[in-house]
Amino acid sequence: MSGETHGLICAYRLDGKGSGASLDWEAIQAFSDMDGFVWVHLDYKAAAAQEWLNRNSGLDEISVAALLAEETRPRCTIVPDGLLLSLRGVNTNPGADPEDMIAIRLWTDGQRIITTRRRRLLFIPDLKTAIDAGQGPCSVSEFMVDLSARLIERMAGVIDDIDDAVDALEGIGCRVDRE
């Protein structure tokens, strides 16, 4: 079954040394804190992902609502037993308009990381490849830094193009106010 059908895009039990073992729904349910740390990445549009978040994730209502929210603004919020982080970036999917922002929502309690998305995020396969090669994050904090850096890296080209366009406008005599 594809991630689009059942909501689980990928999940890993990360070993703290840069590597990880891929998990399915059953293994996610069996995870215990003594097993290292776990990353679960979901397509929040899928009914199975919504059901798992609501019934089996152990998250409070505020956290579940944030992970399932259609519209998000970038934010970082401390919630009961965890941290919620919502990030946005430019849409670099093929054929997409970069102005059509994409978002990733993240919840962590320092042991589990749950991320959700609506649209495909091109940096997720890069992160999976790094984990599979033993070059992934070694801690929850490293995971958050790595994820954020990959999101920013994907935006760099679009931002450079915008900056070049502004420079071109200035070059032809258009007044552009920059802060």
Encode pLDDT of 113-167 as tens digits: 999 998 787 788 989 999 999 999 999 999 999 998 888 886 656 565 556 566 6
For position 140, what pLDDT does the model report? 93
**What pLDDT score was predicted for residue 174?**
59
DSSP letter for 34, please: G
Instruction: Pick the more confident residue, 98 or 142.
Output: 142
- Could you tell me the two tokens for 87? 């990030």
User: Which domains, from first to last, does the chain contain?
Assistant: 3-171 (3.30.460.20)
* Average confidence score pLDDT of the chain: 83
Q: Using 50, 70 and 90 to split pLDDT, how confident is the model at 173?
A: low
Tell me the C-alpha distance between 137 and 14, whole Å. Answer: 8
